[in-house]
Amino acid sequence: MTDHAYNFAYLDEETKRMIRRAILKAIAVPGYQVPFASREMPMPYGWGTGGVQVTAACLTPGDVLKVIDQGADDTTNAVSIRRFFQRTAGVATTEATTEATLIQTRHRIPETPLTADQILVYQVPIPEPLRFLEPRETETRKMHALEEYGLMHVKLYEDIARHGEIATSYAYPVKVGDRYVMDPSPIPKFDNPKLSDSPAIQLFGAGRESRIYALPPHTRVVSLDFDDHPFTPSKADHACDLCGAAESYLDEVITDDLGSRMFVCSDTDFCRTRREAGQVGRLGGTLEGEAA
Amino acid sequence: MIAATLGGGFADPASQSARAFRQVLQALARPGRIERLEGVAPPAPLSVAAGAVALVLVDGTVPVHLAGALDCAAVRDWMAFHCGARFVAAEEASFAFGTAEALRPLNRFAIGSAEYPDRAATLVIEVPHLRCEGALLRGPGIDGTARLSLPMPAYLAANAALFPLGFDSLLTCGAALAGLPRSTRVEGF
Amino acid sequence: MYVAVKGGERAIDNAHAFLAEERRGDPAMPDLSVGQIAGQLKLAVNRVMAEGSLYDPGLAALAIKQARGDMVEAVFLIRAYRTTLPRFGSTVPVETGQMACIRRISATFKDLPGGQILGPTFDYTHRLLDFKLAAEGGMPAAPEAPSRPGPVPHVTALLDRDGLIQRETDSGTPAPDLTRDPLHLPASRALRLQALARADEGFTLALAYSTQRGYGRTHAFVGELRIGMVRVSLDLPELGFAVEIAEIELSECETVNQFTGSKTEPPQFTRGYGLAFGQNERKSLAMSLVDRALRWRELGEENIGAPAQDEEFVLMHSDNVQATGFLEHIKLPHYVDFQSELELIRRLRAEAAK
């Protein structure tokens, strides 16, 4: 049911127009962070307000919305955001990646390849990839303007000198269309290759930091690396214990206090779809939890 | 006269502008793709597509420039009533509406700054025909190459060479709409 | 056997129900009314109005009740409500020189036109717990002074007349609004003051205190602190004049600070400014010190790298709704990123062991 005390998708039309204009500029300059007049939302800053504002500005009554957090549809914040749009926009929702027309995500890109009919909206905590190297916005803005990314390369190279490899496992920086260095949001670097040449539109919203950026479809996105230390996406060296998938990103679940553990797909829809199709992992199809 | 000014907007603004925005988004995100915008009846000579773009994106906070034949009482009144548009000179505009000829010289329009490339104008260019043929397009949003009938392709190619600066264009013809962001490289014209 | 974590939806519903029960507390005790909060916890209400940027004592009191007395949460509720409100226009600037003061003090002059008015202040109370308040309260009554006729001029205006203090001029440019436009740096003073007026009281206090201890010292005197009601008017173009629409309570502080001068200009005092909704004395005082510290560039002072001189640092971290949201978001699940870190650290350790 739509809550009629608020406009469709909560935001007023003037705010939506402002966000829509920012989204279009973000599309026009892929990877560049467009400042926008982020609004206070009825959920806290840092909990997806940027993604929620972008979703609200994009949503149409005919959309089918999917919301995931950590790859899962039933994590509490995903539930909370999905409910918010059910209540304020009355849109249909789904947990099936293939059925969704708009997917809001925190920290993952779905395993199932996206299509041209889908938009993926990322929640972004710190949109500036250079922020932890230079805390000042006035400085990082100059670096982007001058395409001066030496500091980032120095940081990555120091990692190699100290650890033998680049010690960044998530929010791994990328270069977009050979111009802007971009933070892909805190997705595991395993997901980075999915950013590039995607048929879907990818939009990034950072509410507290008031920034929107975008990857149009079929945009070249390269994870930063060095010739002698090429980028490698990585995941736990296991197959999913429930569905047997060997190529999906896995959560490690500690099952007792003696060190026993199991590995399961972080993408809950992907895992369920495989199990429904008869795929079985090491621990078989123990689905009691979901029946509970 | 008054009916022409007061009418022709979205009957259901929230959902119609949401749908129309998605079409504008698809057009700009996928250069070479043509969308059809409907449900709007702006006064001539403003096209249906350009009228819909105005309703979706323009309001009192956005300086607008009307060029050539579009700079007439009927269009001004309609945009002022439905969008609360403020009309300004080309140099100050965030959005400019007109034919290719009327909008020239294009170097009047904001192309953003190195630190804020987003502070660039969006040109809504009324074209006599809009087809997936003509100039060859490459760049973000395009799977390989695409083709689009462009007005003044040499100028649009020169604009793309300014990337990440440059204006962005929406091409409108009747209900048809196509997008040409500054990121699109224009060849073969 | 493994049981997948499910049921986020039910958990949320149950948590909300538990929260509602806890908020109400012991049902044997009478429910706290919004009117009681607005009337008896007025300083809490004022803080929520100031940092929530919405002048509505009733709503602020409701927010405090709903937030179980958590002030930052109450500010958040007000902010989230505020963004949904339509805007009909901007009022003309309030005239604090016309304020009907309940309190007005100057530390720079023993007496002055308009007089010193102590008003309802904790200043000279002995901070001894009043156990009578724990029992049923009675109805205290204060003696009333006759209202003083005549104007209450700003202290800085008195100094200004003699050219002793740096003159503020109206640039005539419309005031920026950081609730409608993204914060742009470097910020104008008007934008900084807007940010400080909504800033967290604790953060502002700590910054102001740091300037007093030498981190950007400005030698502030309280030129004047005044608290009282001012009239709010809205220009109605249809009528061609402004119409009074409300009266609001404000706290205004002007500091008189160390003087500067140069070869071309004789020495002059300088100013810091603080303004907040309601009786909000500590906030307006702290704000004026931070405002003054941030003006180092315009007044030709040295930047010694003090936090209170650092505009970007101050403006980016002064908003408690932003700060608390981001701080608390680390409670959200981060197991995907943690997993990638686990794998990385295991790999690095395995490499090191080779």
Q: How many CB atoms lie within 10 A of CB C201?
A: 19
User: Which tens digits make up the pLDDT trace of A32-47?
Assistant: 999 999 999 999 999 9
Which residue numbers of A are catalytic?
31, 240, 243, 265, 271
pLDDT at A285: 57
- Which CATH number characterizes residue B34's domain? 3.40.50.11310
**B neighbours by CB contacts (3+ pairs under 8 Å):** A
Residues of A whose CB is below 8 A from C341:
169-170
B1 in A contact zone (CB under 8 Å): no
Cα distance from A200 to chain B (closest Cα, Å)? 9
- Classify each residue of A74-90 as buried b or exposed e, where b means 16 or more C-beta atoms within 10 Å of its C-beta: bbbbbbbbbebbbebbe
Cα distance from A109 to chain B (closest Cα, Å)? 19
In this predicted structure, the answer to whether residue C95 has a pLDDT above a threshold of 60 is yes
User: Which tens digits make up the pLDDT trace of B1-35?
Assistant: 577 788 899 999 999 999 999 999 999 999 999 99
B188 in A contact zone (CB under 8 Å): no
Residues of B whose CB is below 8 A from A117:
none
Query: Do the Cβ atoms of B120 and A25 come within 8 Å?
Result: yes
Query: Do the Cβ atoms of B22 and A18 come within 8 Å?
Result: no
pLDDT at C199: 98
Give residues with Cβ within 8 angstroms of C47, minimum separation 6. Answer: C71, C75, C201, C278, C280, C283
Give the global pTM. 0.92
Return per-residue pLDDT of chain B as tens, 189 residues. Answer: 577 788 899 999 999 999 999 999 999 999 999 999 999 999 999 999 999 999 999 999 999 999 999 999 999 999 999 999 999 999 999 999 999 999 999 999 999 999 999 999 999 999 999 999 999 999 999 999 999 999 999 999 999 999 999 999 999 999 999 999 999 999 988
pLDDT at A290: 46
* Spatial CA neighbour of A42 closest among A70, A84, A14, A71: A84
Which residues form the domain of B21?
2-187
pLDDT at A4: 59
Q: How many CB atoms lie within 10 A of CB C345?
A: 13
Residues of A whose CB is below 8 A from C318:
none
Q: How many CB atoms lie within 10 A of CB C163?
A: 10
* Best to test chain A binding among B15, B25, B184 (most A CBs inside 10 Å): B25
Residues of B whose CB is below 8 A from A16:
17-18, 21
Domain count, chain B: 1
Task: Report residue A97's pLDDT band, with 50, 70 and 90 as the boundaries.
Answer: very high
| Cβ-nearest to B15 among A57, A60, A216 | A60
Task: Report residue A1's pLDDT band, with 50, 70 and 90 as the boundaries.
Answer: very low
Q: What gap in Å lies between CA A105 and CA A97, rounded to an integer?
A: 11
Task: Report residue C1's pLDDT band, with 50, 70 and 90 as the boundaries.
Answer: very low
The answer to whether the beta carbons of residues B36 and B141 sit under 8 Å apart is no
Q: What gap in Å lies between CA A157 and CA A234, rounded to an integer?
A: 19
B168 in A contact zone (CB under 8 Å): yes
Query: Do the Cβ atoms of A32 and B164 come within 8 Å?
Result: yes
Domain extents in chain C? 11-82, 96-120+149-166+183-318
Task: Report residue C332's pLDDT band, with 50, 70 and 90 as the boundaries.
Answer: very high
pLDDT at C7: 67
User: Which tens digits make up the pLDDT trace of C266-293?
Assistant: 888 999 999 999 999 999 999 999 999 9
User: Which tens digits make up the pLDDT trace of C161-209?
Assistant: 888 998 888 888 888 999 988 888 899 999 999 999 999 999 999 999 9
pLDDT at C172: 84
* Best to test chain A binding among B10, B16, B19, B21 (most A CBs inside 10 Å): B21
In this predicted structure, the answer to whether residue C25 has a pLDDT above a threshold of 70 is yes
Residue A163 carries which side chain, given as an amino acid letter?
H
Cα distance from A271 to chain B (closest Cα, Å)? 30
pLDDT at A292: 35
- Minimum CA–CA partner of A13 in chain B: B14
Q: What value does the mean pLDDT of chain C take?
A: 91
Q: What gap in Å lies between CA A113 and CA A99, rounded to an integer?
A: 12
Give residues with Cβ within 8 angstroms of B69, minimum separation 6. Answer: B45, B98, B99, B102
In this predicted structure, the answer to whether residue A50 has a pLDDT above a threshold of 70 is yes
* Spatial CA neighbour of A15 closest among B187, B176, C82, C295: C82
